[in-house]
Each structure stands twice: as structure tokens, then as C-alpha cells.
Structure 1
Amino acid sequence: MMVRVLQELSALDGGGVAKLLYDYYRNMDHTKIHFDFLIYDYYENGMYEEPLKDLGCTIYKLPRIKKDKIGYLTGMKKIIKDGNYDVVHSHMGSRGLFVMYYGKKYKVPKRIVHSHIAYEPVSNAKRKVNAMLASIAKHYATDLFACGKDAGIYMWGKKASAEGKVHIMTNAVDTDSFQFSNALRIQKQEELQITGKFVIGIVGRLSEQKNYPFLFSAYKKVTEQRDDTVLLIVGRGLEEDKIKKLAADMNLGNSVRFLGIRSDVSELLNAFDMFVLPSKYEGLPVVLIEAQANGVQELVSDRVTTEMDITDLIKFLPIGNTEDQWAKEMCSASIKTHERERYSNLVRQAGYDIKIESKKMQNFYCNIEE
């Protein structure tokens, strides 16, 4: 029996959830399981759309609810009604309530709603609205998922988590492809013309969540103390023009490189000496698992759950008026490559290997109770 799964997420671009699902599906048995995707019109063509189409997936793209509520709801209704799906899996957290509702209405046996956020800085009023939406999503769902314990508690509550009602789907990676390679390090640094530089990097959507103004302020202080650094920014997003203008206005143009969306992140990480992630909030960022598998040092916001700390590579720092502290850590860091190869195995042993975890997830999808 072929199990048909509809995955809902915002976009199939360079974001962590998109890459996660792409990697999970690539490592599953396609004679037993089939994925289709329901996404929204953030990008004309997200980077994983064509690769997933090549794997036989259908990509449905709907207008965002704020742009066209009727088009959003009628389109979703038709997709689920006509799709003959065995599973609907929404990665939209509390906003997955509509897929859960139509999934139940049209008798989809397994309905999964998934939290990828462990903390979000919102007003009390917005928090109450989110809690109400989450309770509706829970009502129509058959299974609650989260990327980690904190994300499960944040979205689905302490009681559900304590009672074992929240399934953890780890943000697993291909640990072999992310293992450090000194040959790739030399190659990528030569390609980017940054040989001899101390390379600081971030892989993250160009959005308010990732806190680029804070990062630029801290990095500006680094450039005032060191003249051998470069900041690589990998990703794109709806605030790209604004963020690029900010870097230019701060006279960072010569030492900040915007690399755009890239399909070679596993290779690029070899060129990094330090990975930075000053996010205002996160779930369990896949990229931090990737960076740890590569053995690169990491400076991470204390708004990111400590569940991410699966090696000895991460240092958590606060992000409130602490640019000097971040700059000090970046300035005092040294290039360390001699032990980086061993970290891919540590990440694998911690339960984050995609080849193992994808089989577990496939079994979960295929265990359908009629």
C-alpha cells in the first residue's frame, strides 16, 4: 500500500523546515510513501520546488490568507477533498488549524500538526489568540508533533508534553555530507576569495526574526578591532533589500558578503571559522545541527533552546544591548580545524542522523489506523 502524505509549510525555499522535509523524503522508500506539498505564494520558485517535482511530488501553491482569504480556503478545501490523502502534516503550528479541519471533514485518517517554534516574542493579546488557534488545531488533529521538548511545551502545553502526547520529530541531517573536509575548506575559500580571512557566517532567512541589525552592530565593532574578517550571509527573504541597505548604510559593504540562496551549504560550512545565530526566537534550527556536524564554533542567542547544545561547540549569549560581548567573542576566537572531522559522528550518536530518523518517520506515517 502506498501511503500518501500532504505536507503543509509556508514555502519550499532555503528555510530549515523545507530542507528538513526534502532530506527526510529523499531518504524514504518511495514505493511505500509519497509526499505532496501545500505551500504559499512567498516566492515565485523556491529552491526545493524543482528537486521535489523531480522526485514525483506535486506542489500546490495557494495565496496567503491575508492576501486572499477565499482563495486560500477554497483552494485548500479542494486539495484535501480531492487528494485521497492518508496523512496531512501541517508544519504551521497553530496556523495549521485549517488543514486539520478539512483533514477531519474529508476523513483523512492521520492528521499531524507540528510546532517548530520554542519561543516567540509576541504581545499578551497575540499570545492568547495563538493559544486559542492552537487549541482548535489540537481538537481536529490526531497527532501532535514538535521539533523538540521546548517547542512541544510552548505550542501544545506542559500537560500534553508530560503525558507523552507530543511526538518529537528530530531536525535530523545527513551527517556524512556535513562532515568537515579541509580540501573543501580550501576550495570554497579560494572560490569566494577569502583565503587567509577569519570567516564568520550565518545561514538564515533575511527576516526580522534572525536579528540582522544586532548582528551588524556587533560585527561593526569586530571590524574596528580586526582587519582580517569577513561576514558571509547565506539566504534570502522578504526583508532582503532592507537588510542589504542597512549593511551599506553602516559602511560594512566591503566585509559583508551576501551569497543569496545556496544549494551547497554543506560545502560552504567548511569555509566558516565561526557560525553566528543571534535570533530573536527559534524552534530547533536545523542549521545548528548542520553546523555542529561540521565542527564549526557557534555563537547563538540565548533565545534558542539549549536542546540544541548536543556538542561542546555552542556558546549561548544574550541579545539585549550585548553587542560588545558578541564582538569580544568574535574578536578573540581563533581558527580551529584539527578536530572538526570527529563532530559528524557525535551528532549521529545524539540521534540526529537523517538516514536513521527518516525510517522511523516513514514507519509512523505508514502505521495508519482506519
Structure 2
Amino acid sequence: MTDKRGGVESFIMNATGMIDPSRVSFDYIVNTDVVAYEEELAGQGSKIIHVPMRAKHPIAFTRVIDRFFLENAHKYDAIWVNVCSLANIDYLRYAKKYGIPKRIIHCHNSQNMDSKLRGMLHEHNKKRITEYATDYWSCSDEASAWFYGDAIRNLSTYKVINNAIDPQKFVFNPTIREKMRESLKIDDALLIGNVGRLHKQKNQCFLIDAFRLLHEHIPNARLVIAGQGELRGQLQKKIDDCGLNEEIILLGELTNTADFYQALDLFAFPSLYEGLSIALLEAQANGLPSIISTGNPQNAVVNSNVHRIAIDDAAKWADLMRHELTHEGRVQTSENRIIGSDFDINTQSSFMETFFEKAGKRV
């Protein structure tokens, strides 16, 4: 968990929220002062253990986590480390040192999204991850190729845990749609949406370029980008330079994505790379026609109105967005393939509940 309501945080909340708390309970080690969903987690009876951030306070980090595991490891049956790279595997190292029997590493991305140094640390730790982890989970086989390499994918303790959502929360609701569009002051505009951290990986600069071309043909088109991140200033400058301040909205971080999708007419997701996006699953659960990049894995395409194309030409994206806005529509709930699929959280949570409960039955 970080202080952002991102994909990993959403996945954890979706997964643990469906697990019976009388059978399995979770505590959280975090390295930010405030953590996303902290009130919800506390309401579930979870403890939030705050530790220093290793990158900023390496000595304090080592001292605090060593003491924590020394004093508390005997209370826990498993540690489940959800990360986008192997740059820091210290939680697993200390869990092993102090005797936590089940140690799961869970992959959530398919490329290095951080600094060159963290990329080097990832490659270094990839060679020794089997010294510390007992189980290897991943959001997709495609992501595992970078995260783990081929050898681990052949182990019996390797498993793909599909990112999953509760699709019933996102079913299309025309009443909510009307209210959301009123709050966004959209009126009769055709609305394109994007959800994601404002980061190079999510490629929102490309989306703005494509939208600028689209707007020349559909003047009542609007683009709303939901999320926070380090590129907010750069994106706003690009919007200013394009003269599209009235047509493109940087909405900031959402606390309720389910209602946001109701307002949209099209979901656009040109990421450079993805493990398997929660936002894309949510958009499909709402039935939205979606245009996504080939940086998304093929198995992320579930519904028939999702189009996966390269990000080599903004004009192609503009043309396809134009077509989808004027020809395509939401799939009907009865035709929505997310419901009851492997991306339905009810399917994934049953496995995890059984796994963790079994881990708690020590001989």
C-alpha cells in the first residue's frame, strides 16, 4: 500500500475485502505517513505498521524492520509482498530470518517503471529471489517473463493470480451517469476517459496528442484524465499549449471510480506497458467501448468492444476514437464477459482464502 489509490492498492482491497475476516486477517506494513484506504483497513480490524522509506532513511529502515520482525514474526503465518519490481526484497529477507513460513512475492508490472538504479537492483534480486520466497504469484505470464524469468514459471509454487474486481459495482447505471455528467458540467459532450497515475508509463501525453486531432473533427468531444502523479505540471502545460483547457480536464485522484465510468462514452488507455490493469477491468465491467495499447497483455481484452492497437501513430488513435464515439456503445450487462470470468474477484478470493487459511494450520 502507498498513499495513492492505484492499481495495486485497488487489487489488494478487492481481494482482501472478499475474504472472511473471521478466517483470515491481514495487517499492513507501509512506508508512507498516510496510506490509501487507511480508514477502511482500520475498520476491518487490520493493523497499519508504518516504517521509514528505505530510499530516504536506509539505516532507520533496516533498524525498524529488523526489530519489527524480531518481535512479531511469530504472530504471522504468511507475508504477502505486492510489488512492481524486485528492487527491495528486504521484507522477505527478514521474514525468512525470523521464521515466517509462507513468503509470497506478487508481481504487478511487466517493465521497470522507476530509475535505472532500481532497474539494476531488480535484476540483481531476480537472481536470488528463490533464497527468500516460497511462492511466486503474478498478474500475468507476460509480466512474469520480465519479473521472474522462465525458470520460476515452471515451479509448482508459481501461480497467475488475475487482477480482479467486483463487477457488480461497475454495472452501468443511467441515473448515476446523468448525475456525474452534471457534476462534470459535460452536458451533451462525448466524453473520453483515462484513469491512471500521471506517469510516463501511462502515456497520457500521447493521448492528449490523439485527442487534439480528434477534436478537429468532433468539437464537442471532451477528455477527462483521472489520477495524480509527477507529470501533472507537464501534462497541464501540454494542454495549455494545445489551447484545450476547456476540453481536457485533469481531474485528480478519484475516491470512487465506479461512478466516474458511468459518465464516459469511451475509455482510452495508451500505456507503454502494463501487468494487467485494474482500471481497464473496471471500464470493461461498466461495458465501455475501450481503445487500449499493445502494451496491455492480450488477455486483458475481455469484452467484444475493446480494441488493442499499437501506439505508433496518434492519428490512428484519433480515427479509431472518432469511429467508436459515433458508432460503438456499451455492451449490455447480459453480454458483459467480465461477470463470472477469471477477472471476477469472487473467483480469485476463494483461492486466496483457502491458501492463507491452510498456511495458518501449522503442524
Same fold (TM over 0.5): yes
Q: Single out whichever of 256-265 and 129-138 deviates more from structure 2.
A: 129-138
1:352 and 2:340 correspond: no
Instruction: Note the 1:311-322 alignment, pairs <5 A.
Output: 311-320=303-312, 322=313
CA drift of 1:314 comes to 2.0
95, 102, 106: which one aligns with 1:114: 106
CA offsets per residue over residues 229-268 of structure 1, 9 Å max, x none? Answer: 1111111123323332332233221111122222221111
Does the residue aligned with 1:348 lie in a helix, a strand or coil? coil
Aligned to 2:94: 102
Which residue type is aligned with residue 34 of structure 2? N
1:292 and 2:284 correspond: yes
State the percentage of identical aligned residues: 26
1:176 and 2:168 correspond: yes
Which residue type is aligned with residue 135 of structure 1? K
CA drift of 1:91 comes to 1.1
CA drift of 1:282 comes to 1.2
Which residue type is aligned with residue 232 of structure 1? V
1:187 and 2:179 correspond: yes
142, 162, 169: which one aligns with 1:150: 142
CA contact (8 A) 1:97 1:136 kept: no
1:74 and 2:97 correspond: no
CA drift of 1:162 comes to 3.4
Aligned to 1:324: 315
44, 55, 64: which one aligns with 1:55: 44
Q: CA RMSD in A?
A: 2.2
187, 193, 208: which one aligns with 1:201: 193
Distance 1:343 1:47, change over 3 A: farther
Aligned to 1:162: 154
Normalising by structure 1, we get a TM-score of 0.89
Could you tell me how far apart the structure 2 residues matched to 1:302 and 1:353 are? 23
Does the residue aligned with 1:94 lie in a helix, a strand or coil? coil
CA drift of 1:122 comes to 8.6
Does the residue aligned with 1:57 lie in a helix, a strand or coil? coil
Instruction: Note the 1:120-269 alignment, pairs <5 A.
Output: 120=112, 129-269=121-261
344, 353, 359: which one aligns with 1:362: 353
CA drift of 1:127 comes to 5.6
Q: Single out whichever of 311-320 and 293-302 deviates more from structure 2.
A: 311-320
Distance 1:90 1:358, change over 3 A: same
Could you tell me how far apart the structure 2 residues matched to 1:343 and 1:354 are? 18
CA contact (8 A) 1:152 1:166 kept: no
5+ residue gaps in structure 2?
A: none
Could you tell me how far apart the structure 2 residues matched to 1:337 and 1:223 are? 19
Q: Single out whichever of 306-315 and 241-250 deviates more from structure 2.
A: 241-250
Does the residue aligned with 2:55 lie in a helix, a strand or coil? coil
Which residue type is aligned with residue 53 of structure 1? A
Could you tell me how far apart the structure 2 residues matched to 1:79 and 1:340 are? 50
CA drift of 1:55 comes to 1.6
